[in-house]
Structure 1
Amino acid sequence: MFTGLTPKLVATGFVAGLLLTSGCSLTPSAGQAGPTSELRQPEIASAFRQQQENLSFEHQAVAAANPLAAKAGQEILQAGGNALDAAIATQLVLGLVEPQSSGLGGGGFLLYWDGQQVVAWEGRETAPAAATPELFLDAEGEPLEFLQAVGSGAAVGVPGLLAMLEAAHREQGQLAWARLFEPAIRLAEDGFAVSRRLHHLLSEDPLLAANSAARNFYYLDNGEALPVGHRLKNPALAAIYRQVAQGGSEVFYQGSVARSIQRAVVNQPGQPGQLSLADLANYQPNSGSALCSSWQVYLVCGAPPPSSGQLTLMQILGILEHLDADQLADPEGFYSPQGLHLYIEASRLAFADRALYIADPAYVEAPGGDWSNLLRPAYLQERARQIQPLAEDRARAGQPAPVETTWAPQPEQPEYGTSHISVIDAEGQAVAMTSSIEQAFGSRILVDGGTGLPGGFLLNNQLTDFSFRPSDDQGRLIANRVEPGKRPRSSMSPTLVFDAHTGELRASLGSPGGAAIIHFTAKTLLGMLQWQLTPQEAINLPNLANFNSVTLLEKGRFEDYVRLGLEARGQEVIARDLTSGIQALLITPSGIQGGADPRREGWVAGD
């Protein structure tokens, strides 16, 4: 299980001259804390696993959630595009062939390494200007049931993905913008074969067929999902892509596409949304320095808030570093009851801080004015000392800065979604991008962009990533509550890793999976860089997750003695499918090694 180790990349010291800064169980109610809220899957598991082999490429590679998407990225690289160009083309195809996970109706986070610096691009969705903190409360002031909120216009935030991609391309792209749309337009017009996974998710989804446009497009007349192998064309999306290729994102945010989105949201039956044409026209993506942290002999870079991914991920890994436990030195020890107990307890502590502190930085100040206070070595050492031989029911947030917070912790509620792309080009430039429409098929609202043609794209339900409750029982406000124009907290964790001594790029990785993204990424980092496994071997390792209550172990991947050993240490353990979709690329002396998650339809293409 833990064979095929690769040579260790050894380095010491710090970066010199690198321009980086730290800076499917359904629950009764999203507002109720407790273990049931953590049993949901971002996307339900398929009844099959796609076998993957260790892959190595000499020059460049693209890892994505679907073979057609990865091959589109490879096409762009071979045409002279850079890593960013390839990532954009890959994403446009994903929006077509993997509509349940991402697309024009959603948002994302993108890290781009140009050989000199890492730029963090943020295209997170925003709440409408008319939104209020009570958006997801019923007439009695109680949180709506989660699926009631998901399938509503109120759940739809202003999509940010396209604006982010265009802004990044304007500054750092190489090929013409229109060229990047060609693979997706070709597939949308010629059609693609419905995959086993898409068919399975269509068959099992409880809400999608309630939308007439989606029902007519994704289902047969008898109500059954389109069969595996059915050639699905998307004329509406092809037309939209052609418009945007020629006219840019303005076509999307101010033209007939915008009007189509706004009408669909405000006319959604049940609970219409408040999205306005002005909300769409005024959307702006953000960019800035990546949030980078030292770990072992590496510098690990990720997206700053409103993503919680990098901060929580690096808190977990940083706490583990301070434990100095023999069990963490290799995968066999890590996957022992004691090794897992230490990881789980570190996770509890990190997720307790996440629930209290992290939200949109335009609305919430970092502890002590600096997010890096959550990653100070002295603070992580203090947190590590709190880990005991027996688990506590729930960890409490720490105090990373002298000033005490007035926020209340956010109650547990489900998080979903996403797709991940990793690219390294022949010049050594790289992208790690995670994008999402949140739950599988998002809000289940399919819009045709005003084309009048079959198909189109699905709108997000990202506003359900806000806390449904704006405050606790004592009236203390929750940092991640709904506010006008605010961006909901995310767990997306696109990650680039560098040699801390030379500043050379080492890896690009990330995963879908809701809040479990953080655990899937942590596992893969440990596997590739601490235990020297190939990317595929690291991805294949068993998944686990804890969000500061019950521990989830991937069903069928752990022996009984592990569960019993964890229970003896006070852990409540439940076996569940943990359907990650990890993509990873690792630079080695012999080339680029690639890995794609067999739990979905991931693929690595390159040369």
Structure 2
Amino acid sequence: MALKIFPAHLLALASALVLPACATAPPVGPSPTAAARENDVYDKGMVSAADPRAAEAGAEMLRRGGSATDAAIATMLALTVVEPQSSGIGGGGFYVHSDAAGHLYTIDGRETAPAAATPQRFLDADGKPLLRREAVVSGLSVGVPGNVALAAKAHARDGKLAWAELFQPAIRLARGGYTLSERGRSMLARSPDSGAHDSAARALYYGADGQPHPAGTLIRNPALAATLEALAQQGPQAFYTGPLAQTLAEHVAAETPAEAGKMTLADVTSYEAKQRSAPCGTYRVYTICGMGPPSSGETTVLGILVALENFDLAALGPESPVAWHLFAEAQRLAYADRELYLADPDFVPVPLAGLTNHAYLLERGKAISPGQTLPTVTAGDPPGGDRLSFATGQHYPEHGTSHFVAVDRKGNAVSYTSTIESAFGSGLFVGGFYLNNELTDFSAVPEQNGRLVANRVEGGKRPRSSMAPTLVFGPDGKLLVAVGAAGGATIPVQVARALIGFLDWKLPIQEALALPVLFSPQDTVIVEKGSRLEAMVPALENLGHKVRTAELPLKTNAIAVVNGRLAGAADPRSEGRAVAQ
């Protein structure tokens, strides 16, 4: 059953802010005047994505009369072609949908570990974690892809156009060719271990000299076009059964040590995209909803934001070092909870209601001082959680991913994050696309100090994710913004920063996405290199922070509702763009 969004002042009365599926109060819908425009809520629909050609593919579906869901699926498929380093049908994703009346529906298309996978999957013979390259560029890291199953489930519920129609822009791009961008060339140059690991990928994206093709090269991918055509004609079963599924399983198994647990055809054929409950919470007068576990994204976004309700961020403003200090401290608290409690809820009891409980998060934020840093930060005790049950793990760095949002004229909104994890994923290449390395999102070690790690590897389990596809509603229950980001563990921070900019600092949505990023998941604050936050480093150090500057993998996309019309935005650090129908 879909969830319903209620005005924020009613939500605030609840101690646990995960909206129950059985809620019966009437949702707040569009104004009666919408009927005068043939039930349209907006004059035009819109798509925002990390590549303009993918955004255009989605907008094309809207022009054909498709829904936001149709547009989002077409965008995901096109990204498989034009942004192969980040996402696509070889990976998985999370889908958050709302209609104009505020009914929420979410789908978990996260990859799964092979049934034979063991908790020691990423340990060497001495019981130590494998080096990152050894873990990533191999069959060890590949989970059963979930994006095609997700798309099929979403289309069955919310699609309007024929399934095959959604594939046409991506097929044109793959067969007719697309121009390699400078960003794409740069990623190929920086990631040859994965990008050129398989001979078929090397022949497609690299020259005879071993160097990536220069920007401006027309890339034709007939193998991917054939795969997409099969999916368009035969449906999702063409991915999960038959020759493609067999090839996928065999290719992954061939690069996986037997003792770690090999992928089988049965792992692929048994994959299921799952409907999940959508965690919602209030931040000031706004209702914020997103994806639940195995995503840690929305709980972390809410953990950051609600902790900051104790402070007047609007009065401080974006030029205040104190505001950024508070933001850093709130991150430390939220990420401590994330590290301990978040994992696949089908395998681990995740205290989701407690982690989104407004009173708990507000009280946790009271530990923050505007004048100094917290000396140490540990996980809290959310209602329903047992801090002593699990240990924190050791995780490989996260990268990659792509986010896109779509809103149609009827008021349906989709926030969808798709990923293959690192640049070019595992490097394994089948059917013209890269396979993910999502299993390295599990903890490399299954236990610490005699206690199990919640996010340890287990057969059939889905690894914890940082992805945070988010929808925000005003006090009247109407959509305010659809937003999400790419960039591994920085994703919840990017989303929280954009929302602070838009909701607290009243910046236009494009300026909110352009705000610098300060990333503080533990005891060191990482300031975005080259941003105006670098000038605040001395002030942050005077407050007690250990600070370093670094380039961060930042890529946010959003669509906001401003005076009843849609305003699209894309991170200026990316090639992204918003396209109206």
TM-score under structure 1 normalisation?
Answer: 0.87
Return the letter of the residue paired with 2:224: L
Distance 1:403 1:111 in 2: 26
Q: Does 1:240 align with 2:215?
A: no
SS at match of 1:100: coil
Kindly provide the CA deviation profile for residues 134-171 of structure 1, in whole angstroms up to 9, marking residues without a partner as x. Answer: 00000000001112100010100000010011011012
Return the letter of the residue paired with 2:366: R
Match of 1:350 among 315, 334, 337: 334
Contact persistence 1:84–1:431 (CA under 8 A) = yes
In the alignment, what sits opposite 1:256? Answer: 243
Q: Does 1:475 align with 2:459?
A: no
Q: Does 1:587 align with 2:561?
A: yes
Distance verdict in 2 for CA 1:201–1:565, change over 3 Å: same
Kindly provide the CA deviation profile for residues 555-607 of structure 1, in whole angstroms up to 9, marking residues without a partner as x. Answer: 11135541011111121111111231111101111511111111111011004
Aligned-CA RMSD value: 1.9
Contact persistence 2:318–2:505 (CA under 8 A) = no
Distance 1:314 1:140 in 2: 40
Q: Does 1:298 align with 2:298?
A: no
Return the letter of the residue paired with 1:379: Y
Return the letter of the residue paired with 2:197: A
Return the letter of the residue paired with 1:557: S
Aligned length: 545
Contact persistence 2:528–2:534 (CA under 8 A) = no
Match of 2:529 among 555, 578, 583: 555
Contact persistence 2:343–2:454 (CA under 8 A) = yes
In the alignment, what sits opposite 2:10? Answer: 14
In the alignment, what sits opposite 2:517? Answer: 543
Q: Does 1:414 align with 2:397?
A: yes
Once the 2 structures are TM-superposed, how far is the Cα of residue 375 of structure 1 from its aligned partner?
Answer: 2.4
In the alignment, what sits opposite 1:603? Answer: 577
Distance 1:245 1:377 in 2: 44
In the alignment, what sits opposite 1:72? Answer: 57
Once the 2 structures are TM-superposed, how far is the Cα of residue 224 of structure 1 from its aligned partner?
Answer: 1.2
In the alignment, what sits opposite 1:329? Answer: 314
Once the 2 structures are TM-superposed, how far is the Cα of residue 333 of structure 1 from its aligned partner?
Answer: 3.2
Query: What does 1:52-91 correspond to in 2, within 5 Å?
Result: 58-91=43-76
Kindly provide the CA deviation profile for residues 317-349 of structure 1, in whole angstroms up to 9, marking residues without a partner as x. Answer: 00000x22x4x115x634422211111111101
In the alignment, what sits opposite 1:399? Answer: 381
Return the letter of the residue paired with 1:395: V
Q: Does 1:512 align with 2:513?
A: no
Q: Does 1:465 align with 2:465?
A: no
In the alignment, what sits opposite 1:26? Answer: none
Distance verdict in 2 for CA 1:427–1:315, change over 3 Å: same
Kindly provide the CA deviation profile for residues 255-278 of structure 1, in whole angstroms up to 9, marking residues without a partner as x. Answer: 111112112111228898611000
Contact persistence 1:134–1:470 (CA under 8 A) = yes
SS at match of 1:110: strand
Distance 1:419 1:176 in 2: 25
Once the 2 structures are TM-superposed, how far is the Cα of residue 548 of structure 1 from its aligned partner?
Answer: 1.4
Q: Does 1:102 align with 2:87?
A: yes
Query: What does 1:186-585 correspond to in 2, within 5 Å?
Result: 186-207=172-193, 208-268=195-255, 274-321=262-309, 323-324=310-311, 326=312, 328-329=313-314, 333-367=317-351, 371-388=352-369, 389-392=371-374, 394-401=376-383, 404-405=386-387, 406-448=389-431, 456-472=432-448, 474-500=449-475, 502-558=476-532, 561-585=535-559
Match of 1:155 among 113, 135, 141: 141
Once the 2 structures are TM-superposed, how far is the Cα of residue 535 of structure 1 from its aligned partner?
Answer: 1.2
Distance 2:106 2:304 in 1: 22
Kindly provide the CA deviation profile for residues 373-431 of structure 1, in whole angstroms up to 9, marking residues without a partner as x. Answer: 12223212321222244324541001112663310122354112210111110111110
In the alignment, what sits opposite 2:30? Answer: none
SS at match of 1:75: helix
Distance 1:190 1:592 in 2: 32
Distance 1:260 1:335 in 2: 54
Distance 2:233 2:318 in 1: 52
Distance verdict in 2 for CA 1:313–1:147, change over 3 Å: same
Once the 2 structures are TM-superposed, how far is the Cα of residue 232 of structure 1 from its aligned partner?
Answer: 0.6
Distance 1:403 1:340 in 2: 29
Contact persistence 2:354–2:385 (CA under 8 A) = no
Distance 1:186 1:273 in 2: 38
In the alignment, what sits opposite 2:3? Answer: none
In the alignment, what sits opposite 2:168? Answer: 182
Distance 1:381 1:86 in 2: 37
List 4+ stretches of structure 1 deviating above 4 A.
269-273
> Percent identity of the aligned residues?
46
Q: What are structure 2's unaligned runs of at least 5 residues?
A: 1-6, 21-41
TM-score under structure 2 normalisation?
Answer: 0.91
Return the letter of the residue paired with 2:234: G
In the alignment, what sits opposite 1:451? Answer: none
Return the letter of the residue paired with 1:381: L
Contact persistence 1:155–1:443 (CA under 8 A) = yes
SS at match of 1:587: strand
Contact persistence 1:417–1:439 (CA under 8 A) = yes
Once the 2 structures are TM-superposed, how far is the Cα of residue 484 of structure 1 from its aligned partner?
Answer: 0.6
Contact persistence 1:394–1:548 (CA under 8 A) = no
Q: Does 1:164 align with 2:150?
A: yes
Kindly provide the CA deviation profile for residues 224-264 of structure 1, in whole angstroms up to 9, marking residues without a partner as x. Answer: 10111111111011111111111111111111111121121
Once the 2 structures are TM-superposed, how far is the Cα of residue 503 of structure 1 from its aligned partner?
Answer: 1.5
In the alignment, what sits opposite 1:92? Answer: 77
Distance 1:403 1:75 in 2: 46
Distance verdict in 2 for CA 1:352–1:12, change over 3 Å: closer
Once the 2 structures are TM-superposed, how far is the Cα of residue 298 of structure 1 from its aligned partner?
Answer: 1.3
Distance 1:515 1:560 in 2: 21
Contact persistence 1:318–1:375 (CA under 8 A) = no
Higher RCO, 1 vs 2 (CA within 8 Å, ≥6 residues apart): 1
Distance 2:11 2:395 in 1: 38
Contact persistence 1:265–1:273 (CA under 8 A) = no
Distance verdict in 2 for CA 1:12–1:180, change over 3 Å: closer
Distance 1:269 1:138 in 2: 13
Q: What are structure 1's unaligned runs of at least 5 residues?
A: 1-10, 24-56, 449-455
* Mean CA deviation greater in 587-596 or 118-127: 587-596
